């Protein structure tokens, strides 16, 4: 009975040491007699007791490693502190265990030296404006260096860049001066635009006023011309009426010319103070003047 119990205990111990359950996203590095044997994936794994043992458990998840803040010197001899985080993932568990003593320490030291090398080639202002470039360079260098360790660097992010206190004060003063400068420029630009708008408005108003005055003068001239035309038409009608009446009474030629002269005199008394007489009519007018004097003399003789 005791023997059976001992055998049962031995079997349980052997089963416990032989059966391994590997969790998801993990692998076991199995060694047999001190030599690498296999990589056990997730699930149930059977090993040989006293011959095989689990060297290490390796996580296949993406992992993060916070690099301690490092003081680095820029190209213009300014000491700044950079805080960095690295995202990595193990792609070959066997290399990650056997190719390097400590994978995390290797990544950390490599990241520190690479950061110092990259920042040492940049000015202070460039380090603040080139974070993406620094991140990319770090990732490429670390990824190439850790490939033989069975590791892939997915991302490298600079969390913070801290310059010395005196440099921060100088930068704040510079930023305030730049803001004040931009404010003055914007204010001057706004005033210039306002002056231009006012001047443009005055110009448009002057143009409209001149156009209105021009339109008024044109309308007055048209009205005066129309009035002159109407007066001339009225006088012409009067002359025509006189002529028609005289023609009906069968007057002689001298009387007709005399009456025409009198009508012309009435026309000259109107608003149109300028009358244009054809050159051919000047002889007739001179004759009419002489005839008028003859009639005047005859009238005086008859009175005597």
Query: Where do the domains of the chain lie?
Result: 2-59, 63-163, 236-303
- Give the per-residue pLDDT at 294: 46
Fold of 2-59: SH3 type barrels. (2.30.30)
Using CA atoms, how far residue 194 sits from 182, 189, 202, 205, 235, in Å, is 18, 8, 12, 16, 61
CA distance 74 to 297: 128
139-177 tens-digit pLDDT: 999 999 999 999 999 999 988 888 877 777 776 777 778
Question: Residue 257 has what pLDDT?
Answer: 59
Q: 221: exposed, middle or buried (C-beta count within 10 Å: 0-12, 13-18, 19+)?
A: exposed
Gyration radius of the chain's alpha carbons: 59
Q: What are phi and psi of 168, to 5 degrees?
A: -60, -40
What whole-number distance in Å separates Cα of residue 265 and Cα of residue 275?
Answer: 10
Q: What topology is assigned to 63-163 in CATH?
A: Tetrahydropterin Synthase; Chain A (3.30.479)
**Is 60 exceeded by the pLDDT of residue 264?**
no
Closest CA to 42 of 27, 55, 53: 27
Residue of 167, 65, 158 whose CA lies nearest to 119: 158
What number is the average pLDDT over the span 213-237?
Answer: 81
Least confident of 5-9, 99-103, 137-141: 5-9
Q: What is the pLDDT of residue 235?
A: 74
Beta bridge partners of 259: none
In this prediction, residue 276 has a pLDDT band, given cuts at 50, 70 and 90, of: very low
Of the two residues 251 and 20, the one the predictor is more confident about is: 20
Backbone φ/ψ region at 284: left (φ over 0), alpha (ψ -120 to 50), beta = alpha
Q: What is the mean pLDDT of residues 11-19?
A: 78
Read off the pLDDT band of 267 (50, 70, 90): low
pLDDT greater than 70 at residue 87? yes
Whether 300 has a pLDDT exceeding 60, the answer reads no
Answer yes or no: same fold for 2-59 and 63-163: no
The kind and range of the H/E element at 300 are helix 282-303
């Amino acid at each position: 009975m005791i023997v059976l119990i001992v055998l049962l205990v031995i079997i349980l111990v052997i089963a416990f040491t032989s059966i391994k359950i590997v969790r998801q996203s993990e692998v076991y590095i199995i060694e047999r007699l001190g030599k690498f044997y296999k990589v056990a994936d997730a699930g149930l794994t059977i090993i040989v007791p006293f011959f095989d043992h689990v060297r290490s458990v390796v996580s296949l998840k993406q992992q993060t490693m916070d690099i301690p803040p490092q003081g680095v010197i820029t190209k213009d001899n300014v000491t700044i502190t950079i805080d960095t985080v690295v995202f990595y993932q193990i792609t070959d568990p066997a290399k990650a265990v056997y190719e390097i003593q400590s994978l995390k320490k290797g990544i950390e030291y490599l990241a520190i030296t690479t950061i110092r090398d990259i920042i040492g080639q940049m000015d202070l202002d460039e380090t603040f404006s080139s974070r993406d470039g620094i991140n990319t360079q770090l990732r490429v260098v670390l990824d190439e260096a850790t490939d033989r360790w069975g590791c892939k660097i997915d991302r490298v992010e600079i969390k913070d860049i801290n310059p010395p206190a005196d440099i921060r004060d100088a930068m704040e003063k510079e930023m305030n001066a730049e803001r004040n400068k931009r404010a003055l420029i914007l204010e001057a630009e706004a005033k210039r635009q306002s002056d231009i708008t006012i001047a443009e408005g005055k110009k448009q108003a002057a143009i409209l006023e001149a156009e209105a005055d021009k339109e008024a003068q044109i309308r007055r001239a048209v009205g005066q011309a129309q009035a002159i035309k109407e007066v001339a038409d009225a006088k012409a009608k009067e002359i025509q009426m006189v002529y028609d009446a005289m023609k009906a009474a069968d007057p002689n030629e001298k009387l007709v010319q005399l009456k025409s002269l009198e009508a012309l005199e009435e026309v000259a008394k109107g608003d149109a103070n300028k009358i244009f007489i054809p050159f051919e009519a000047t002889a007739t007018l001179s004759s009419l003047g002489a005839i008028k004097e003859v009639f005047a003399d005859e009238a005086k003789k008859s009175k005597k």
